[in-house]
Amino acid sequence: MINKTILVKSITSLSEARFCAGMFVDFISFDFNPNSEDFINKAQFDEIRGWLSGVKILGSLNSNDIFEIIECIQSNKLDGFLFAEDQIAMMSEITVPFKVVELASLDNISLIEKESLIIYTGMFEPDLFESIDINNEILLGYDFENVKIDFEKLKGYAFKGSKENQPGINNYDQLMDAFDLLDM
């Protein structure tokens, strides 16, 4: 059993969502931005969600309209929301059990609510993490090689989903390799 928090974002298929749930991934996230290559429409999302249990369901939406984000959360009955760095200002105005924010640098870390998870996408430098006061749980994302970094202040890892080659056929090699390394 993996003893780190794992998040997989940009889920686009039922087979991938079920694979993640079966591997005891903690969070999976769906992209509700219609302009994204990882966009999933309401009908697809509802079908996938109906097959899942045990995993927390997050969503992301590239919008600075707080009401649009709240509508996305409510209409999809999301467990949480994945905020982009430019959406930090609205985090405190949105009520959802799990808040996750992506940060490319730690400059804005003081603006993040303490209960929120942070996905750090910048260059990992242990000295930088040691030198600042971090009150949040940090996941390293999105490089599969990050699983080789074992650092006390890291809560876990975030990964990006992959595309199906055809319905029901997907290659999870990198994700499986990451899970194998984490399971050691």
Domain, as residue range, for 111: 5-182
Local confidence band at 184 (pLDDT 50, 70, 90 cut-offs) = very low
Distant-in-sequence contacts of 151-156, Cβ < 8 A, 24+ apart: 151/124, 151/126, 153/129, 154/4, 155/4, 155/5, 155/117, 156/4, 156/5, 156/6, 156/7, 156/26
| pLDDT digit string, tens, across residues 70-120 | 999 999 999 999 999 999 999 999 999 999 999 998 888 888 888 899 999
Task: Provide the number of structural domains found in the chain.
Answer: 1
Local confidence band at 9 (pLDDT 50, 70, 90 cut-offs) = very high
* Residue 1 pLDDT greater than 80, yes or no: no
| pLDDT digit string, tens, across residues 21-71 | 988 899 999 999 999 999 999 999 999 999 998 999 999 999 999 999 999
Asked if 6 and 25 touch (Cβ cutoff 8 Å), the reply is yes
pTM of the model: 0.90
> Position of tokens 């509508």?
71
Percent helix, strand, coil in the chain, to 5, is: 35, 25, 40
| pLDDT digit string, tens, across residues 126-169 | 777 776 767 778 899 988 888 888 777 788 999 988 776 556 55
Burial of 21 (0-12, 13-18, 19+ CB in 10 A): middle
CATH label of the domain that carries residue 57: 3.20.20.70
* Residue 19 pLDDT greater than 90, yes or no: no
**pLDDT number for residue 173:** 66
Distant-in-sequence contacts of 79-86, Cβ < 8 A, 24+ apart: 79/27, 80/27, 80/56, 82/9, 82/29, 82/58, 82/119, 84/60
**pLDDT number for residue 166:** 58
**pLDDT number for residue 153:** 74
